[in-house]
């Protein structure tokens, strides 16, 4: 289950901030979202390159109401430092989405 499905199913606000981690093993790239409580969720990646995956995931999270914080950081590299095998980037909900995501207080 990913953060969007979980939020909708449990009627809870989307988490913010989040860390998005991309990892490449051979020809497969995986995306893991890490929440503040260290729980994780996975998201499908269609791109075949790390740079393409960064673009795909940045666009995906922007389209879902998040704004990137800073740039993609190389966490681990391979091939003598020539190519990233693990990168991360933080995202936070945009102000509009954050206000919309708040759970309304119950009226008495």
**Per-residue model confidence as pLDDT tens for the chain (108 residues):** 788 888 888 888 888 899 999 999 888 999 999 999 999 999 999 999 999 999 999 999 999 999 999 999 988 877 655 566 899 999 999 865 555 555 555 655
Separation CA 89–CA 71 (nearest Å)? 6
Tell me which residue has tokens 């981690």: 21
pTM value is 0.79
Spatial contact of 40 and 33, defined as CB atoms under 8 Å apart: yes
CA atoms within 13 A on the CB side of 29: 21
Burial call 75-103: b when 16+ CB within 10 Å, e when fewer: eeeeeeeeebbbbbbbbbbeeebeeeeee
């Amino acid at each position: 289950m990913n953060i969007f499905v979980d939020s909708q199913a449990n009627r809870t606000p989307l988490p913010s901030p989040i860390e998005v981690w991309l990892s490449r093993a051979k020809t497969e790239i995986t995306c893991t979202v890490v929440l503040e409580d260290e729980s994780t969720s996975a998201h499908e990646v269609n791109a075949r390159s790390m740079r393409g995956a960064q673009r795909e995931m940045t666009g995906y999270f922007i389209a879902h109401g998040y704004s990137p914080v800073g740039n993609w950081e190389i966490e681990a590299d391979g091939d003598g430092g020539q190519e990233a095998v693990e990168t991360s980037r933080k995202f936070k909900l945009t102000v509009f989405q954050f206000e919309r995501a708040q759970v309304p207080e119950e009226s008495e």
